[in-house]
Structure 1
Amino acid sequence: MNHICNMKYVVDLFEMVSTNIFRKIPPYPALYENISTDFSATDLSWEHIKLCYLILIRILPQIPTIDSIFINRIVSRLYTPLTVEQDQITSFLSVCITEFAYTRKFIRSELLKTLVEYYDLHRYPFSIAPALTLIARHFSELKITSQDFLVYIAPLLSAPHLKFFSNQFQKVASVVLSNNQNSGFQIFDKIVKFWPKTNIEKQACAVRIIIDICELLPPDQFKQTVSKLSQIFNDAVSSPNSDVAEQCLIIWDRQKLLSNIQSDNYSLIPLIINSLINTYYTHWSASVQNSASAALKILSEFCPKVVRNCMMQQTKISVDANEYYHSSWIKIAKKAGEHDMNMDIFSKLENINNAFPPETIMFRRNFSFSPEH
C-alpha cells in the first residue's frame, strides 16, 4: 500500500512538472524578485525550468510507461529559440533514448516529423539543430538508415536557414556514411541535387558538407563522383563570395581526399586545373588567390606529371589565343588604315597584351608553383 501511495505521488509530481514545462515558460511568483537582487525574475524562471527537467530525469525510472503524447509534447518544445531550454530538452531526450528503449520509437518518429514539418512549411527553424544533434548522437539506437537520410535530411541542404544547422547536418552525414559506406555515392548524388545554385551564402555551407562526404567515400565510390564534383568545384572556386571559394580550396588540405584523388589516377585534376589557375590570377580576394596558389603548389608536389601536362596544354591554348587576338588586331588596324581614319591603331599594338583576356595573359607570368620535374 505504501509503495502504491509513493508511486501515486511520483506520478502526480511527474504530471505537475510536465504541465509546468508545457506552459512555454514556467510561472514564477512575483515575490521571487525580492529574494535576491542578483537575479531577475526571468533568471529564476529559467532556474525553475532546469529544475523541472532535472526532476523529470530523476523520477523517470519510477514511471511505469511514457506514452507517445508526452514525447510529442516534449519534442514540440524544441521549437523554442532559447538555447537554455533546448539544452535541457536534448539532455532529457538523450536519457530517454539511452535508458528506456521503449521510448526510442516515439522519439524517432517525432524527430523525423519535426524535419518534415520544417522542410514543408519552413517553420520552427530553431528546432532543426537540436533534432539533428540527437539523431547524430543516437544514430544506432534510433535505427536511422541511409534511406531516412535521403528522404528526411538531405533536402535540408536547400533550406533557407541552413547556416543555423549546417554543422549538425555535416555531423549526421558523417555518421550515416561511417555506418553505411555502401550507400556513399547515393548519398553524395542526393546531396548534389540540392546544391543551392542561386544562393551564394548557402554555398559555403554546402561546399564544406560535400567535401566532408567525398573524404569519407571509399575509393571505388569516389570515382563515380568525379564528374559532378568537378562541376561544383569549378563553380565554387571562382565564386565572387570569398567564403565559398576558400571553403572549396581547403580540399587540398585533406589527406584522405588526396588519397582518393590519387587512387582515381588523378582524373579530377585535369577537370579543375583551369579553374584553379584562373582563380589564382583573377579573383578579387587576396586570401582566395593565396589559397589557390597553395593548392597549386600542393598539386605540383603531389602529382607533378599530371600538373605539368595540364600546364603544357593550357600554354598551347594560350599561345593559340594570343595569335588569334594578335591577328584580329592587325586586321582591324589595316582596315582602319584603308579608310584613312585619324587614329594611330598601329601604335596601340605595342600594348596589345593589355587587350588580351586574363586567361591568355596568365601563362606569360612566372609560375612559382610550376613543377621542375
Structure 2
Amino acid sequence: MFNKIIKRANKKCGKLILSEDPTTNAQQFYEVVVKHASRSSTFNSEPPNLPPIAPSPPHQTVIESLPPLKEVPVSERSSLFLRKIQLCCLICDFSDTLKFIVEKEIKRQTLYELVDIIQNSSFQFTDFQEELIVMVSINIFRCLPPASHENTGSETIDPEEDDTYMDPSWSHLQLVYEILLRYIISPETDIKISKRYVDHVFVLKLLDLFDSEDQREREYLKTIVHRIYGKFMVHRPFIRKAINNIFYRFIFETQRHNGISELLEIMASIINGFALPMKEEHKLFLIRALIPLHKPKCVSTYHQNLSYCVVQFVEKDGRLADPVIKGLLKYWPVTNCQKEVLFLGELEEVLESTQPPEFVRCMVSLFRQIGRCLNSSHFQVAERALYLWNNEHIISLVAQNRNVILPIVFDALENNMNGHWNRAVHGLTANVRKMFLEMDAELFEECQQKYLEKEARATELEEKRELTWKQLEAVAAQAVVSDEMVLVN
C-alpha cells in the first residue's frame, strides 16, 4: 500500500497549483512566464487584460465559472474564449480528492466546452493557436510520477501485473489531450501557422511522455503523434529520428520504457507508407533498431508490433529477408522458452515473404537452429518448430533445397521419434518424417543409413569407454588390495 501511495504521488514542475489562499492563486497565475522553444521571445509576464481580481474572503474560490461562449454577444466571445484558456492553465492538485472539488469541476466543464468548440468549429479558435498550445503544454508536460520499479526495486517487468497505474488527474488530462487532438485534425488548423507552435521541441516532449505508466495516456499520445506525422510533413524526419533515439536508449542503456509497444505501432504505420525503392535510412532503422529490439528480456510486451514492423520490411523488399533471419538467429534466446516460441512465430511470418534466392543464403544456419528447437525438451518449443511444416510456402522452399535441409534436421527428427517424452511432439514428428519420405525416398534412405551408422559408431564408442572405465576400476581395486597386504605384513 505504501508503494502504491508513493507511485501515485504527482511531482510538480513549475506549474500553477491551486493553494488554500485565493489571492496567492491569482498572483501566481499572473506571474507565470511561459517559454516556448520555437520562439525567441516569451509571453509577457504582466497581467493580461482581464478585470482585476479583488481580495476574496478566505473561503471564496478564485476560479469562477464562466458563461458558455454561445450565450454572450459575438463581440465578447474572443475575450471570453481567451479567459477560458487562461482558466484552464491553472493546475489542480489531485493528491487530495477532497480539496478544490468545485474548482476541479469548473475546469473540467471549461475544458469540455473547449473540446466542443474546436470539434464543431463554432468559433474562430485559430486566432488563439499560440495560447491554446501554451495551455496544452502547461497541462500535459509535467514530471511523471516515479515508475513502479523505482518504488519496489523490481528488476523485471511483469506484463500481466494487475496493479495498473491510473493518473488521478486523468479527468482533466483526457480533455486536454482531446483538445490537442481536435486541434491537430481540424480543417481550420493552418499548417503554416501551427508549425510555429507544434514545433520540434513540442513533439520531442510529447514523445517523452510515452514513458507514462498510464496506458490511457499512451493511447492518446499514439494517436496524436501519428496525426502530427501525417499532417506536418516538415516534422517527419525528425519524428523518425527521435523515435529511433528512444529505441537506442532502451536497447543499449535502460531496457526500461513503458511506451515501446505504442511507438512500434506508430512506426508500423510509417513503414507501411515507405516508397520503393526503400531509402538507406529506412534499411538502417531495420538493422540498427528493430532487430536489436529482440534482445531485451521484456520483448514479450511489445513483440506483436515489433514482428509486424519487421515483416512489413520483408514484404516491401524481399532482399531484406536474409539480414532479418540472420538477425533473429543472432538474438535467439537460449534459456527463455516462451521467448523462443515468439521467435519461431515471427520466423514463420518472415519465411512466408521470403523468396528462394534469399532463403538459400541463410538456410543452413536457419535449419541448424530449427533442428535444436525440434529437440527441445520444452514441448511448446518443439511443437511450434514442427508447425513450420504446416505452411505451404515453407514446404515449397524446403522441397527445393531438401538435399541440404534434410541431412541437417534428420537426426533431430529421429531423436524425437526414439525418445521425446511428449506424445503430441512425437505425432507431429512422425508427420514431418513421412513428408520428407514422400518428398524424396532415396535421400531419406540415405540419411537414415548415415544416422544408423552414426548411432552404431556412437554405441561402439560408448562400449569402449565403459570397458576402459572397468579396466581402470579393476587396476585401482588391485592396487588397493596390494597396499593393504603390504600394511598387514
User: Aligning the two structures, in what range does the TM-score lie when normalised by the shorter sequence?
Assistant: 0.7 to 0.9
Superposed, 1:160-171 pairs within 5 Å as 160-171=297-308
1:19 corresponds, among 126, 138, 150, to: 138
Task: Measure the CA separation in 2 of the matches of 1:274 and 1:217.
Answer: 26
Structure 1 spans left out of the alignment, 5+ residues: 27-41, 337-373
Task: Measure the CA separation in 1 of the matches of 2:202 and 2:460.
Answer: 76
1:251 corresponds, among 379, 388, 394, to: 388
Classify 1:240/1:318 alpha carbon distance in 2 versus 1 (closer, same or farther; 3 Å). Answer: closer
**Does residue 50 of structure 1 match 2:169?**
no
Report which stretch shifted further, 112-121 or 253-262.
253-262
As a proportion of its length, which structure holds more helix?
A: 1
**Does residue 126 of structure 1 match 2:258?**
yes
Shift of 1:326: 7.6
Superposed, 1:23-38 pairs within 5 Å as 23=142
Task: Measure the CA separation in 1 of the matches of 2:241 and 2:472.
Answer: 76
Q: TM-score scaled to structure 2, two decimals?
A: 0.58
Contact 1:237–1:248 (8 Å) recurs in 2? yes
**Does residue 236 of structure 1 match 2:368?**
no
Other-structure match for 2:50: none
Superposed, 1:127-166 pairs within 5 Å as 127-141=259-273, 145-166=282-303
Counterpart residue identity of residue 263, structure 2: A
**Does residue 281 of structure 1 match 2:413?**
no
**Superposed CA offset, 1:79-124 (max 9, x none):** 1233222221111122122222222122111110110010121343
Residue aligned with 2:271, SS: coil
Other-structure match for 1:356: none
Counterpart residue identity of residue 257, structure 2: P
**Superposed CA offset, 1:156-184 (max 9, x none):** 22212111122122111101111222232
Task: Measure the CA separation in 1 of the matches of 2:262 and 2:286.
Answer: 16
Shift of 1:304: 4.1
Classify 1:94/1:5 alpha carbon distance in 2 versus 1 (closer, same or farther; 3 Å). Answer: closer
Counterpart residue identity of residue 235, structure 2: T
Task: Measure the CA separation in 2 of the matches of 1:191 and 1:322.
Answer: 36
Task: Measure the CA separation in 2 of the matches of 1:331 and 1:155.
Answer: 49
Shift of 1:252: 0.7
Superposed, 1:81-100 pairs within 5 Å as 81-100=213-232
**Does residue 103 of structure 1 match 2:227?**
no
**Does residue 206 of structure 1 match 2:338?**
no
Report which stretch shifted further, 161-170 or 197-206.
197-206
Other-structure match for 1:348: none
Shift of 1:198: 4.9
Task: Measure the CA separation in 2 of the matches of 1:151 and 1:233.
Answer: 25
1:72 corresponds, among 194, 204, 207, to: 204
Larger Rg: 2
Classify 1:79/1:288 alpha carbon distance in 2 versus 1 (closer, same or farther; 3 Å). Answer: farther
**Superposed CA offset, 1:240-268 (max 9, x none):** 33332222222111111111112224421
Task: Measure the CA separation in 2 of the matches of 1:313 and 1:94.
Answer: 58
Structure 2 spans left out of the alignment, 5+ residues: 1-74, 79-122, 146-165, 474-489
Other-structure match for 1:195: 332
Shift of 1:220: 1.0
Task: Measure the CA separation in 1 of the matches of 2:471 and 2:128.
Answer: 102
Residue aligned with 1:126, SS: coil
Superposed, 1:204-353 pairs within 5 Å as 204-318=341-455
Residue aligned with 1:239, SS: coil
Report which stretch shifted further, 312-321 or 222-231.
312-321
Task: Measure the CA separation in 2 of the matches of 1:7 and 1:331.
Answer: 92
Identity over aligned residues, as a percent?
A: 19
Task: Measure the CA separation in 1 of the matches of 2:425 and 2:287.
Answer: 33
Classify 1:206/1:125 alpha carbon distance in 2 versus 1 (closer, same or farther; 3 Å). Answer: farther
Contact 2:325–2:366 (8 Å) recurs in 1? no
